[in-house]
Amino acid sequence: MTIKSKKRKKKDILHLALLLAIILLINIISGFVNIRIDLTKENKYSLSAVSKEILKNLDDMVYITIYLDGKLSIPYAKFKRNIKDKLEEFKIYGRRNLEFRFIDPLKDKESEIQNKVLYELKQKGLDLINYTYKNNEGDLTIATIVPGALISYKGKEVPVNLLKDDPGLSDEEKLNNSFESLEYEFINMIRKISDDNPEKIAFVIGHGELYGYELEDILQELENGYQIDFLKISGQTGILDNYSSIIIAKPKYKFSEADKFVIDQYIMNGGKVLWLIDGVSVSMDSLIRGSTFAFINRLNIEDQLFRYGLRINPVLVRDKLCSILPINIAPQDQPPVWEPVDWLYFPLLSPSPAHPVTKNSSYIRSQFINTIDTLGARKSVKKTVLLKTSKRNKVVKVPAIINLSEINYSTSDIEFDTVARPVAVLLEGIFESNFKNRPVPDNLESGEKDIKFKDKSTDTKMIIIADGDIIRNDYQIWPDERVQILPLKTDKYIEFINNYYKKEVLPAFFDNKEFIVDAINYLTNKQGISDLRNREYKLRLLDREKTGNRKNRLKWQLINTLLPVFLIVILGVFYNYSRKTKYATTMKS
């Protein structure tokens, strides 16, 4: 071996040692410094500043148990991987205060035990999803999965449902929407369960509003992140000042001018309000007996809402896209035979896909809903429609008699309108006081000698929904005085039909609870949580026209499998040729 060859060999060894040292140093540094590069256009693998701040400030362990595991179809296996990737990102910022694990709730269990486990998870608030897939033998198989998680912190436990199961979307779109919502769903619940100083919200009562068992389900959900009170205003100025938001849910009786004034000044000082108002009064109990009377529900707040920027129209909506009533079709004196019949007065409402409150939401169920008109003259107020009817609807003017016999009408006999109507609207901006240029009510109760009146608000917002039943859950009191609360997301009539036929005749899940919670989160907007709902990941699907037929599918499969291998072989041949040429030249010299 020549002296020149020995020097070159020694130089190569030094280069190799230096390279190994650099790699070792990089590995040591990477153990202390996290550098992650997200090359996606939408930054789909990066967390927002809000999420990072919440995770960094955790002062105790947060445990997340995800039940989406076991034998999964390819789309759900990919969704599980997305969840794992997102939680791995969480763990970087949560450090030692966040742990997660995946569990298959049905693994190695007998059928009876599986049913018990699924029942317990459902009682804890997790959704169970049945889906069909092909097994290894090519046969269609129905499987039950639990696409949700339980989050535990300091002895508290809250459920998180991760799948946005919109029946109008394809599986790819459902899972993409669910992926878009992962960060929001997890961070929102972690924020709620770990917040030692929850914001205060109040349900206003004293005007026949919903109370007690009718609100039990939404209260259990809101109590995870808010301190909740029930308040009678009784004309007491300033009684609402300490609350981030108030909820007025389905009042039946007139508001006094004093109560209106207190609410008005609360808004003028930046308070937020969720109004759930029935513009028309209808008794469902009377309808079950054959007919009922619908009349205008005069609450004495019509002028106030008008001043803020909208009007609830005293009409009822009949919509072709609707829920059902179970009807007994058996002859008299015979055992009942129940059949589901479309009930046009129970519209299924479509959420706006472009707003954080309703993004990726499914249908919202309603009962005897009214329509809303917004007023263009209020230039300082931005109006956003959150919920609307389908385009196949017809309004009924009141007063009117509603007969159960209307179920016999064919929808082809009804001349439906072709315009979707707003039924829930968000107002944001500067509001004018309803009491501007008006005398202050006499019967106010105030600890101050002079009432500090404001005729214009600071920048604030409110949501008005033309149906009080959207927030109301059904319940049943059994003979032993046991109370059964039906989840807000379910419909008792659909549940009855499904139980009667012992199978899922109709899908029974709606997004009422999620809509109300997201509305409150948006109004309070603590730490900018609602902004996470604006994140959007474009779904890039294969061109169905090019990949749909067998010939094209085979062509693209070959391109995707053989072309990369061919390119690597070409690069390898080129590299070896250039290397031989280089060393041949060196040896000659």
Range of the domain at 175: 49-192
User: Which CATH number goes with the domain that contains 356?
Assistant: 3.40.50
Residues 114 and 211 in one domain: no
| Residue given tokens 């990949």 in the structure block | 547
**Single residue among 192, 227, 250 that ends a domain in this structure:** 192
User: Which CATH number goes with the domain that contains 125?
Assistant: 3.40.30
* Whether pLDDT at 584 is above 80: no
Residues 103 and 167 in one domain: yes
Number of structural domains in the chain: 4
CA 178 from chain centre, in angstroms, equals 9
In a domain, 41, yes or no: no
In a domain, 230, yes or no: yes
Rounded CA-CA distance 455/436 in Å is 5
User: Phi and psi for 86 in degrees, rounded to 5?
Assistant: -65, -40
Positive or negative CA dihedral for 6, 8, 11, 15? negative
Whether the Cβ atoms of residue 148 and residue 127 lie closer than 8 Å to each other: yes
Rounded CA-CA distance 466/91 in Å is 42
Burial of 196 (0-12, 13-18, 19+ CB in 10 A): exposed
pLDDT (0 to 100) of residue 20: 81
Count CB atoms within 10 A of the CB of residue 18: 10
Dihedral of the CA atoms 569, 570, 571, 573 (nearest 10)?
Answer: 80
In a domain, 533, yes or no: no
pLDDT (0 to 100) of residue 479: 86
Residues 399 and 452 in one domain: yes
What confidence tens digit (pLDDT) does each residue in 194-226 have?
887 888 999 999 999 999 999 999 999 898 889
In a domain, 523, yes or no: no
- Alpha-carbon Rg for the chain in angstroms: 30
Count CB atoms within 10 A of the CB of residue 259: 24
Q: Which residue has the higher pLDDT, 524 or 32?
A: 524
Residues 85 and 13 in one domain: no
Rounded CA-CA distance 410/65 in Å is 49
In a domain, 436, yes or no: yes
Confidence of residue 432 (pLDDT cuts 50, 70, 90): very high
pLDDT (0 to 100) of residue 98: 93
pLDDT (0 to 100) of residue 17: 78
Q: Which residue has the higher pLDDT, 276 or 530?
A: 276
Whether the Cβ atoms of residue 171 and residue 209 lie closer than 8 Å to each other: no
Residues 268 and 329 in one domain: yes
pLDDT (0 to 100) of residue 435: 94
Residues 13 and 103 in one domain: no
Cis-peptide into 399, omega within 30 deg: yes
Residues 184 and 205 in one domain: no
Report the interhelical angle of 171-194 vs 49-56 (nearest 10°).
40
SS3 label, residue 101? strand
Stretch among 3-17, 62-76, 192-206, 301-315 having the lowest mean pLDDT? 3-17
pLDDT (0 to 100) of residue 5: 63
Containing 566, the helix (H) or strand (E) segment is helix 550-588
- Strand 338-351 with 322-328, pairing: antiparallel
Residue 464's alpha-carbon distances to 256, 374, 380, in angstroms, are: 20, 11, 17
Confidence of residue 153 (pLDDT cuts 50, 70, 90): very high
In a domain, 537, yes or no: no
- DSSP string over 280-343: EE--HHHHHTTEEEEEE---S-HHHHHHHTEEEESEEEEESSEEEEEEE-SPTTS---EEEEEE
Q: Which of 471, 473, 489, 378 is nearest to 424 (CA)?
A: 471
Residues 554 and 442 in one domain: no
**Single residue among 176, 192, 208 that ends a domain in this structure:** 192
Residues 29 and 55 in one domain: no
| Residue given tokens 């039990």 in the structure block | 216
244: Cβ contacts below 8 Å, ≥ 6 apart: 199, 200, 201, 272, 523, 524, 526
Dihedral of the CA atoms 143, 147, 148, 149 (nearest 10)?
Answer: 80
Confidence of residue 545 (pLDDT cuts 50, 70, 90): low
Residues 462 and 321 in one domain: yes
**Amino acid at site 120:** E
pLDDT (0 to 100) of residue 137: 63
What confidence tens digit (pLDDT) does each residue in 265-320 have?
999 999 999 999 999 999 888 887 788 999 999 999 999 999 999 999 999 999 99
Residues 62 and 24 in one domain: no
**Single residue among 138, 160, 192 that ends a domain in this structure:** 192
Mean pLDDT of the chain: 85
C-alpha angle 362/184/246, rounded to 5°? 75
pLDDT (0 to 100) of residue 343: 93
Q: Which of 405-419, 481-495, 568-582 reaches the highest mean pLDDT?
A: 481-495
Residues 132 and 15 in one domain: no
Stretch among 29-43, 46-60, 115-129, 387-401 having the lowest mean pLDDT? 29-43
> What's the chain's length in residues?
589
In a domain, 17, yes or no: yes
pLDDT (0 to 100) of residue 377: 72
In a domain, 77, yes or no: yes
* Whether pLDDT at 413 is above 80: no
* Whether pLDDT at 35 is above 60: no
